[in-house]
Amino acid sequence: MAERTRGGSGTLGTHVGAVRERPVRQRSTTPGKIVVLLGPPGAGKGTQAAKLASALGIPKVATGDVLRAAVQQGTALGTEAKRFMDRGDLVPDDVILGIMKDALSQPDAARGAILDGVVRTVPQAEGLQKALGELGRDVSAVLVFDVPEEELIRRISGRVVCEKCQTPHKGLEPGDICPKDCGRLVRRADDEPEAVRRRLAVYKAQTAPVIDWYRTHGVRVVPIDAVGTPDEVRDRVLGALER
Ligand SMILES: [Zn+2]
């Protein structure tokens, strides 16, 4: 609707009066979808978060990103978070949730947001629910990315990084040479098949109760088959969200 007042060179469409009839966008009536992404390491959640955000025209809110931004901007909570980080401690959930709430109060999040890595445990799900409640909002859907364990192990243990510059490289093997700086490529200890199996076991133990928690609180939980090209998976998600 707003577009008709723009452009149209040579028409009277850009008349000032036309602009005034459009007040501040109705923010309180229908706030957009808040979508929570859950999935094991290697399921491509980060990639999908970016693709969905761009397809839906809403921001992607990832814990690491908003935390770094708050620290950089020196907000009150960012400064508090930095004190923990400087001591080498984990930033507590309540500080993270405060930062998350700030991010979701921004005008760009009024139309919705894709939450990546925000909820991993039941206390975090409860904290997010409370923070959203204070903003008059709610989680619209929880997407659970599903990839068979053997495929995840294949994906993750196939990653190599440069010992020198830490750049990840695809399609190369441990022992190969980094095309950037000739550093040696290695597989991180965390990405060895046995370590991946342990990480997946931790994920399952943490996530199953989170899924149950959302179900008992009446939030729609949507399993997503996350095997396929990134665009195939994105289209599956978009289809599921429309239903
Ligand atoms: Zn390198």
Angle between helix 193-216 and helix 122-134 axes, rounded to 10 deg = 50
| pLDDT value of position 85 | 93
| pLDDT value of position 26 | 40
Q: Which CATH number fits domain 31-147+200-235: 3.40.50.970, 3.40.50.300, 3.30.342.10, 3.90.180.10?
A: 3.40.50.300
Is 27 a residue of the active site? no
Q: Exactly one of 154, 188, 220, 236 is catalytic; which is it?
A: 188
| pLDDT value of position 31 | 60
pLDDT in tens, 152-166: 999 999 899 999 999
Query: How far is it, in rounded angstroms, from Cα 42 to Cα 35?
Result: 19
Q: Exactly one of 82, 159, 220, 236 is catalytic; which is it?
A: 159
Question: What are phi and psi for residue 160, nearest 5 degrees?
Answer: -130, 150
Residue 92: left (phi > 0), alpha (psi -120 to 50), or beta?
beta
Ligand 1 centre from 134 Cα, in Å? 46
Q: Could you give the C-alpha distances from 154 to 43, 117, 157, in angstroms and in order?
A: 11, 22, 6
Task: Please answer whether residues 145 and 37 qualify as being in contact, where contact means their C-beta atoms are separated by less than 8 angstroms.
Answer: yes
Q: Exactly one of 68, 82, 111, 120 is catalytic; which is it?
A: 120
pLDDT in tens, 60-84: 999 989 999 999 999 999 999 999 9
Query: How far is it, in rounded angstroms, from Cα 112 to Cα 139?
Result: 10
Query: How far is it, in rounded angstroms, from Cα 125 to Cα 129?
Result: 6
- Residues of the chain whose pLDDT is less than 50? 1-30
| pLDDT value of position 171 | 85
Paired residues of 222 in beta bridges? 143
